Structure 1
């Protein structure tokens, strides 16, 4: 081999890795989260996937959509996401998966914070999901009773409780069943209030408080209670009603107590499944995993506004106290 051929060969060898990188396919990942989740977690999520080898602009492109809890809008957004020809979609909440399932076809979907994915018809079973959907579930049906217990412990004089729920959501029916069973032995009257949007939330509060009797409110986790969070908290304070939500952000927003999974941890865990699926794993073979971290938060500012003294035993169990 002469010198010119040797140099050309070396140059070609040096260029080949660069060409391989330049020609590597750009993977498209749809992100379909709530406004709070996108604002608080998306930068960390992109960084986590970059650590796993998926660098935005090099080998991955994100298609972001923010759902508002309105089903008609969510159907439109689902169609928009599918039009981008995604390799995978990461979606949060039962309504998002319910809308995606019939349109995603063969596109893998990784979910977080979905309750009862089997009973909701999203997967075959937890160990072997089957199909194109897998992810990370959040609450068992028994959590309904637990929310009632924690609310009653925070406000022992509570004798009536309004449960804000999305009546068409299977998991909410199960949460309500657990609450309905637990309430009578505790001497509590539980009243289900089905809501789909803000005006129905306002009407529910009006109907519940029309008798002049005080009570508490349980806001079951859902897109509708997420996007109307501030309204629910404002109305609860206005009517001097202790409230419980499922997630930490709600306590910071003014709910009296929150008890539930660390949703940041739950969403960040999906990055591992995204990485594995983009590298060839099948969603059907990846088991649905349960939540690992639960948190109890108490807002003492809200307690003071309601004229409540939180029992020391509950404060001692709290992971965080907002003062």
Structure 2
């Protein structure tokens, strides 16, 4: 048998020891605004990539930019990212996803925290998106939300929804809620806000017109949630939320996704693309798993008695 030289043996061992993803990959993440749910999604993406073998400082360049709630800035960021040519772009939220998808036809895009990918015209087919785009939808379990409202506040007949009509995801949810609520003898009362600075005034306009408030996955409203909570606490109006992170901030109950988990599910898709799969061949998924989170202190501040049955089945009880 022919013996390897010391140099050849050392080289062979080095090849065996080389990580499977030695070539540095780049992932650029952008969101329309910073708030706990979207921030958690970003962190989930990063951690899922790490678990898949892509680590910052070793074989991954991971960048993040927020548009600070400005769609024009989102479009500017999208153009900049396309110019940077990362291996994958991950836009978080519908406005950021629309900006990125409009800016590139060849860089893989994996969107997340998008309620209605079809309505937002990000893809034309959820199962076979084609092209360079795929991602995760966070379509809210609206039937569960209405069921929770009826369970905890059975006398409520008018549900106030503050939202930004410039966010297509919010328009979709409001229209769906109108249809579903009407079937159950409930009325949806709208209050619009196009900027974070307008959110508290929108909430105030619902005083006397709504029995409860429901906060959809609307980035403008969620970014200024404290203004809604202040109005609700002063006027004994219960605030339900579509995202569980908002319960920590003063909503008293939510059935929704853990956005860190949504981010991890998104990161798993990104890793598949970094390993060689085509984005357009990966079906768009609806995020898996919902939690029930309640906040007894917020409930008391808003004049609500939380049923023990609700508290006992909650995934998380704030303050306990």
TM-score w.r.t. the length of structure 2 is 0.86
**Distance of 2:119 and 2:46 partners within structure 1:** 32
Q: Which among 310, 315, 318 is matched to residue 311 of structure 2?
A: 315
Structure 1 residue 234 corresponds to structure 2 residue 230: yes
**Aligned residue runs from structure 1 range 164-183, under 5 A:** 164-183=162-181
What corresponds to 2:244 in structure 1? 248
**Aligned residue runs from structure 1 range 173-322, under 5 A:** 173-184=171-182, 186-209=184-207, 212=208, 215-322=211-318
| Unaligned stretches of 5+ residues in structure 2 | none
**Distance of 1:8 and 1:319 partners within structure 2:** 58
What corresponds to 2:107 in structure 1? 107
Distance 1:177 1:6, change over 3 A: closer
Q: SS where residue 286 of structure 2 aligns?
A: coil
Distance 1:176 1:146, change over 3 A: farther
Decide whether the 8 Å contact of 2:44 with 2:261 is kept in 1: no
Larger relative helix fraction: 1
Structure 1 residue 53 corresponds to structure 2 residue 53: yes
Deviations 1:20-74 (A, max 9, x none): 77x9542111022434257546566434323322122222101111343221222
What corresponds to 2:88 in structure 1? 88
Question: How many angstroms does 1:284 deviate by?
Answer: 0.8
**Distance of 1:156 and 1:202 partners within structure 2:** 26
| Unaligned stretches of 5+ residues in structure 1 | none
**Distance of 2:231 and 2:78 partners within structure 1:** 32
Distance 1:13 1:173, change over 3 A: closer
Question: How many angstroms does 1:94 deviate by?
Answer: 1.3
Decide whether the 8 Å contact of 1:165 with 1:220 is kept in 2: yes
Query: After alignment, is 104-113 or 276-285 more displaced?
Result: 104-113
Deviations 1:124-182 (A, max 9, x none): 21111111111121216xx4454333224322332332112232444333322232233
TM-score w.r.t. the length of structure 1 is 0.85
Decide whether the 8 Å contact of 1:151 with 1:257 is kept in 2: no
**Distance of 1:44 and 1:174 partners within structure 2:** 26
**Aligned residue runs from structure 1 range 31-42, under 5 A:** 31-33=29-31, 34-37=34-37, 40=40
**Distance of 1:168 and 1:177 partners within structure 2:** 14
Decide whether the 8 Å contact of 2:237 with 2:303 is kept in 1: no
**Distance of 2:292 and 2:62 partners within structure 1:** 33
Q: Which among 149, 155, 158 is matched to residue 156 of structure 2?
A: 158
**Distance of 1:159 and 1:84 partners within structure 2:** 51
Alpha-carbon RMSD across the aligned residues, in angstroms, is: 2.9
What corresponds to 2:130 in structure 1? 130
Distance 1:38 1:193, change over 3 A: closer
Q: SS where residue 248 of structure 2 aligns?
A: helix
Decide whether the 8 Å contact of 1:31 with 1:91 is kept in 2: yes
Q: SS where residue 240 of structure 2 aligns?
A: strand
Decide whether the 8 Å contact of 1:197 with 1:228 is kept in 2: no
